[in-house]
Chain A
Amino acid sequence: MFTTLFFKEWREKALIFSFELSILAVLLGAQFFLQQKKDIREWLIYAVLLLFFPFAALILGAAGFESENRQEAWAYLFSRPVSRLVVWLAKLAALVSMFTVLWLIFLAAWAAFPAVRELASGPRVLLEYVAESGFPWWSVGLSAFLLIVAFSLSLLRARQFNLLFVALLLGLSSPAVAWGLIISKVGGFMAWLAPEKALRTLLISLVLMALAFVGASLLTLVRADHSQPRKQMRSFAVSFVPFLVLALAGTVATALFIPLPGHNFVSLVTSSGDNAVYATERGILAYDAAAGRIRWLAKTRSELYQLSSPANGRLAYSVLDIKSRRDVAQEVWTVGMDGRDRRLAVGRGSPGPWDPANTDIMGLMIRPDGRSIALLTRAASSRSKGALPALWTVNVDGTGLERLPLDALLADGTTENLWLFFMAWGRTANVLVILKRHSSQSGQTQFGLWAYDLDRRTLSKFEDGVLPASWRGSMSPREDRLAIKLSSGSNLGGPVTALAFFDLATMKRTALVEGTDLVLSRVQWDPAGERLLFQVKRPAPEGRADYANAVYSLAAGKVVAEEAFASSDREAWMIWTAWMPDGRSIVALDSDGRSLKVLSPELKETGRIALPARLKKPEDAATVGRQVLIVDGQTDSLWRLDLDTKRWKRVF
């Protein structure tokens, strides 16, 4: 029956289809007769994409139930032993197949002739969207949407001209309104920061709206009295409204909550004995070991933020506050680790020289007592090389905003490729440790550690050729020692000559492990701050390099345990380790990526727990209480293992 109805539609619409085919042939054929007139050819391609296909789709769609309505044959058709759903599907399938044939012809021309390809990529500029593929999918989407809208409305027993007009109005205005909403108030930040997200949201919006039309059309067909046009129109409207509300809700939900593939992330910021803090594309969350679940500290709705490890129960972070494309400002907030007492420290309305519209926050750090914040900023208008950074301090309640001079640090004039990073804020001494990275005149990247004594207002370099031992975990738990690597190279992961630590009270350096070509990674203090766990690469016989986990004891003054675990960089990269909060054991992801090992401080395996099959790409182990947290890098989810029950649970 479907086939019979399908071919009936083809026969009925053959004239319209032939007419559209002829116009397309003329427009495409002109490309070859007017080879010397590129301007005209370009306009003709624009005419095909912007006018022909949308209008062809509109006319095809409007012809959906046209013959039944014009010839009053609907009563005859509906009295046949065939369901209305099949009638509807056959009509739609026939129209879509005609529409597809038109596009296949264009696709053939597009694939065969580079000139058509080149010209067809032009109109994308109008949509402010540069697709990876040059094929004008936007025109396919727009015309398909118009086809659906017109087809859905064709059911109504309105005059064809009215129908075309309404379909055109709805078909063009709804994507325009959706686009307007998406790039303005609702999702301005998405359009600006991630145009592909805005476009995807628009496409999803169009699909949802098309479904709303389709749903209303189908419900009207199977439920309404076709002999009463007014009643039928009312039925369509009543059916359409809930679908439209769902479509709009879906659009907003897509815009707000569904991240782009590759744009979502779960990244461990810090973990202590009780909490682990993660940055995600949706905000900042803490895993509460006692409660066994996550707690949102802040929902930022923005991917651009800096975070500071919590200090004295408070976490500092920055977000973008976007009112419009031209009114963007960075803000710095603090929040208690219980998710309460959120306070704005810096933002619009901050006093003095702070320029909210022209300030990028490059780094922030909260003081160990949780009372003030240090900020590294740069003028937003001069992000390129040569822009000078600035250092600020401010109390968490927003008072006491002060810009601190960096003259000594900048005195050597090495502003080329200059970046500053906060490394530590001493607990005993009120000293900010800053890592300076810049390019030397010979083009080599250089690192140096600087100390800003905030009480004495002095800034001084205390070590050159020094790197933090790792970007996370270099500070000892008591925040009195900073683990570092001494390096002559330019790469953070490159060969180093020693693993050492600075005593932040005395600013004295103590070397721990020395060598000529050390590759050290994942350096972590134990919870007591007496031992350091790290990975080291040892040149092995037969030209292979073996990686080993090693434990250095400050009390013993030497490496007290070392255990080889991997023979390749790739394997080594998969190993993530973490001390358990009691300091009595270490957890380590195995190099096969399918199990978690429990090691003694002597690095002897005492247990092994299989990872759940759904955890595809384990990364970044953290420990809280008697629980282990693992990030799944494939699904950007967070998994928890209870070491007592050996049970896994996905917590985010």
Chain B
Amino acid sequence: MSELLRIKGLSKSFGRKAVLKDFDLTVESGRVYGLLGCNGEGKTTLARILMGVIPADGGDISYKGRRITFGQSAYKREFGYVPEDPFFFDDMTVRGLIDFNGRFYPKWDRKRAVADLERFALDPRARVGTLSRGQKLKLGLAVALAAAPEFLILDDPTSGLDVPTRQEFLRDVIRELAASGTTILFASHLVHELERIVERLLVLKGGRLILDEDFDKVKDEHQASLEDIFVRLVAGA
């Protein structure tokens, strides 16, 4: 598997609080990464930096061997992103948001977007502002998947989903994407959800990765559930 993304020495502070410190990560293509961390450890910050939403204070990021900097946008055509907080343009309709996004992505699959709207029971004529948090998450997911991304960043996407949709999402959608070769970075604090899908486990604490290991190996070494492993790791055991 080839290297898709490399992060070296990434740092980001908010005021006096350093959220990411000398953060290093290498992502190989076609794998599903599970990024675990307690609240406020920097999962969302990392996702936002990768998506060019906020600038990093320092460090280098390269995608497919090319350095990417804050303000570049072309690389994002191959990125999918489902943010933790699903803030869209409330005045748009669901269909309007789909069409709006369709202009930005060269591999946009409108049929897939329409199919996902049906699958998630979203009314295309509904205004985004009238949707619930869960529905907005589903909409975000439909948009991200229609872009046919090579690298998909999911920032705690299941926390607002109902149980059937969450199970379907984890069981079918993620597996389908993984099977098609899409690289996935799945950030979550709901540890047990990752257990079913993750191939490589990343644990973020104190602004750095304290674990970056194949999940099977971790399981073999610890002989415990992922939740127990995570608790031990963050507790410093």
A residues whose Cβ falls under 8 Å from a Cβ of B = 1, 4, 8, 11-12, 67, 71-73, 75-76, 78-84, 222-228
A residues near B104, Cβ cutoff 8 Å: 1, 4, 80-82
Q: Which of the 9-residue segments B29-37, B47-55, B174-182, B218-226 touches chain A?
A: B47-55
Other-chain residue from A8, A72, A80, A81 in contact with B87 (beta carbon distance below 8 A)? A72
B residues near A75, Cβ cutoff 8 Å: 48, 53, 83, 85, 87
Residue B120 interfacial (CB < 8 Å): no
Known: A71-B88, A71-B89. A76 touches B73 (CB 8 A): no
**B80 nearest in chain A by CB position:** A79
Known: A79-B81, A80-B76, A81-B77. A73 touches B88 (CB 8 A): yes
Other-chain residue from A1, A72, A79, A223 in contact with B55 (beta carbon distance below 8 A)? A223
B54 touches A225 (CB 8 A): yes
A residues near B51, Cβ cutoff 8 Å: 78-79
**Measured CA separation A82–B105 after assembly (Å):** 10
Other-chain residue from B72, B89, B105 in contact with A73 (beta carbon distance below 8 A)? B89
User: In the complex, what's the smallest C-beta–C-beta distance from A256 to chain B, in angstroms?
Assistant: 38
A76 touches B87 (CB 8 A): yes
A12 touches B89 (CB 8 A): yes
Would you mind naming 16 contact pairs between A and B with Cβ atoms under 8 Å apart?
A71-B89, A72-B85, A73-B90, A75-B85, A75-B87, A76-B88, A79-B52, A80-B76, A80-B104, A81-B75, A81-B76, A81-B77, A82-B104, A83-B73, A225-B55, A227-B54
Residue B103 interfacial (CB < 8 Å): yes
Other-chain residue from A81, A84, A227 in contact with B71 (beta carbon distance below 8 A)? A84
Other-chain residue from B70, B83, B100 in contact with A8 (beta carbon distance below 8 A)? B100
Known: A4-B100, A222-B71. A81 touches B88 (CB 8 A): no
Residue B101 interfacial (CB < 8 Å): yes
**A87 nearest in chain B by CB position:** B73
User: In the complex, what's the smallest C-beta–C-beta distance from A212 to chain B, in angstroms?
Assistant: 21
A residues near B48, Cβ cutoff 8 Å: 75, 79, 227
A residues near B74, Cβ cutoff 8 Å: 81
B76 touches A73 (CB 8 A): no
Q: Mark B130-149, 1 if CB is under 8 A from A, else 0.
A: 00000000000000000000
A67 touches B53 (CB 8 A): no
**B74 nearest in chain A by CB position:** A81
B residues near A81, Cβ cutoff 8 Å: 73-77, 79, 104-105
**Measured CA separation A226–B75 after assembly (Å):** 21
- List B52-102 residues whose CB lies under 8 Å from chain A: 52-55, 70-77, 79, 81, 83, 85, 87-91, 100-101
Known: A1-B104, A84-B71, A227-B48. A79 touches B89 (CB 8 A): no
A79 touches B53 (CB 8 A): yes
A12 touches B54 (CB 8 A): no
**B129 nearest in chain A by CB position:** A71
Q: A71-B88, A78-B51, A83-B73 are in contact. List 14 more A-B contacts (CB 8 A).
A: A12-B91, A71-B129, A72-B85, A72-B87, A73-B90, A79-B76, A80-B76, A80-B101, A80-B104, A81-B73, A81-B79, A83-B72, A227-B54, A228-B14
A226 touches B54 (CB 8 A): yes
User: In the complex, what's the smallest C-beta–C-beta distance from B26 to chain A, in angstroms?
Assistant: 22
**Measured CA separation A76–B90 after assembly (Å):** 12
A1 touches B103 (CB 8 A): yes
- List B186-228 residues whose CB lies under 8 Å from chain A: none
B residues near A76, Cβ cutoff 8 Å: 83, 87-89
**Measured CA separation A222–B75 after assembly (Å):** 17
User: In the complex, what's the smallest C-beta–C-beta distance from B88 to chain A, in angstroms?
Assistant: 6
**A68 nearest in chain B by CB position:** B89
User: In the complex, what's the smallest C-beta–C-beta distance from B117 to chain A, in angstroms?
Assistant: 18
User: In the complex, what's the smallest C-beta–C-beta distance from A215 to chain B, in angstroms?
Assistant: 16
B residues near A12, Cβ cutoff 8 Å: 89, 91
**B55 nearest in chain A by CB position:** A225
**Measured CA separation A75–B73 after assembly (Å):** 14
**B47 nearest in chain A by CB position:** A79
A residues near B100, Cβ cutoff 8 Å: 4, 8
A residues near B73, Cβ cutoff 8 Å: 80-84
A residues near B14, Cβ cutoff 8 Å: 227-228
B residues near A224, Cβ cutoff 8 Å: 55
**Measured CA separation A82–B79 after assembly (Å):** 12
B residues whose Cβ falls under 8 Å from a Cβ of A = 14-15, 48, 51-55, 70-77, 79, 81, 83, 85, 87-91, 100-101, 103-105, 129
B54 touches A83 (CB 8 A): no
B residues near A67, Cβ cutoff 8 Å: 89, 91
**A80 nearest in chain B by CB position:** B104
**A224 nearest in chain B by CB position:** B55
B residues near A71, Cβ cutoff 8 Å: 87-90, 129
**Measured CA separation A73–B75 after assembly (Å):** 21
**A2 nearest in chain B by CB position:** B103
B71 touches A4 (CB 8 A): no
Which of A71, A80, A224, A227 has the largest count of B CB atoms less than 10 A from its CB?
A80
A residues near B89, Cβ cutoff 8 Å: 8, 12, 67, 71, 73, 76
A residues near B103, Cβ cutoff 8 Å: 1, 4
A residues near B52, Cβ cutoff 8 Å: 78-79
A residues near B15, Cβ cutoff 8 Å: 228
**A227 nearest in chain B by CB position:** B54
**Measured CA separation A80–B89 after assembly (Å):** 13
**Measured CA separation A11–B92 after assembly (Å):** 9
User: In the complex, what's the smallest C-beta–C-beta distance from A23 to chain B, in angstroms?
Assistant: 22
**Measured CA separation A78–B48 after assembly (Å):** 10
**B48 nearest in chain A by CB position:** A75
User: In the complex, what's the smallest C-beta–C-beta distance from A30 to chain B, in angstroms?
Assistant: 32
**B105 nearest in chain A by CB position:** A81
User: In the complex, what's the smallest C-beta–C-beta distance from B144 to chain A, in angstroms?
Assistant: 10
**Measured CA separation A225–B56 after assembly (Å):** 9
**A77 nearest in chain B by CB position:** B89
B residues near A78, Cβ cutoff 8 Å: 51-53
**Measured CA separation A228–B104 after assembly (Å):** 27
**Measured CA separation A1–B77 after assembly (Å):** 12
User: In the complex, what's the smallest C-beta–C-beta distance from A377 to chain B, in angstroms?
Assistant: 67
User: In the complex, what's the smallest C-beta–C-beta distance from B92 to chain A, in angstroms?
Assistant: 8
A residues near B76, Cβ cutoff 8 Å: 79-81
A83 touches B83 (CB 8 A): no
**Measured CA separation A287–B190 after assembly (Å):** 85
**B103 nearest in chain A by CB position:** A4
**Measured CA separation A67–B129 after assembly (Å):** 12
**8 nearest interchain CB pairs?**
A81-B76, A72-B87, A79-B51, A4-B103, A81-B77, A83-B73, A78-B53, A75-B53
A residues near B81, Cβ cutoff 8 Å: 79
User: In the complex, what's the smallest C-beta–C-beta distance from B108 to chain A, in angstroms?
Assistant: 11
**Measured CA separation A1–B103 after assembly (Å):** 6
Other-chain residue from B70, B77, B91 in contact with A11 (beta carbon distance below 8 A)? B91
**Measured CA separation A83–B48 after assembly (Å):** 15
**A72 nearest in chain B by CB position:** B87
A73 touches B87 (CB 8 A): yes
**Measured CA separation A272–B55 after assembly (Å):** 68
**A14 nearest in chain B by CB position:** B91
**Measured CA separation A79–B129 after assembly (Å):** 20
**Measured CA separation A226–B54 after assembly (Å):** 7
A residues near B101, Cβ cutoff 8 Å: 80
**Measured CA separation A76–B84 after assembly (Å):** 11
B residues near A223, Cβ cutoff 8 Å: 55, 70-71
**Measured CA separation A72–B88 after assembly (Å):** 8
**Measured CA separation A80–B74 after assembly (Å):** 9
**Measured CA separation A12–B89 after assembly (Å):** 9
A residues near B105, Cβ cutoff 8 Å: 81
**A7 nearest in chain B by CB position:** B100
User: In the complex, what's the smallest C-beta–C-beta distance from A331 to chain B, in angstroms?
Assistant: 57
**Measured CA separation A534–B139 after assembly (Å):** 92
User: In the complex, what's the smallest C-beta–C-beta distance from B155 to chain A, in angstroms?
Assistant: 10
**A221 nearest in chain B by CB position:** B71
**Measured CA separation A80–B87 after assembly (Å):** 13
User: In the complex, what's the smallest C-beta–C-beta distance from A352 to chain B, in angstroms?
Assistant: 72
**Measured CA separation A225–B88 after assembly (Å):** 19
**Measured CA separation A53–B79 after assembly (Å):** 43
**B89 nearest in chain A by CB position:** A73
